[in-house]
Amino acid sequence: MANNLHISYDLNKPGQNYQAVIEQIKSIGGWAKIHKSFWFVNSDLSARQAADAVWSVMDSSDTVYVTDSTNNDASWYNLSDEVSNHIKKSWYK
Domain range enclosing 26: 3-90
- pLDDT on residue 14: 83
- pLDDT on residue 62: 96
In sequence order, the β-bridge partners of residue 31 are: 41
- Over residues 63-88, the pLDDT tens digits come to 999 999 999 999 999 999 999 999 99
Total domains present in the chain: 1
- Over residues 19-43, the pLDDT tens digits come to 999 999 999 999 999 999 999 999 9
pLDDT above 90: residue 91: no
- Residues contacting residue 61 through CB under 8 Å, at least 6 positions apart: 12, 13, 78
Among the listed residues 63, 53, 59, 1, the one whose alpha carbon sits nearest the alpha carbon of residue 28: 53
CATH number at residue 22: 3.30.70
- Model-level pTM? 0.94
Cα dihedral sign for 34, 37, 79, 73?
positive
- pLDDT on residue 93: 61
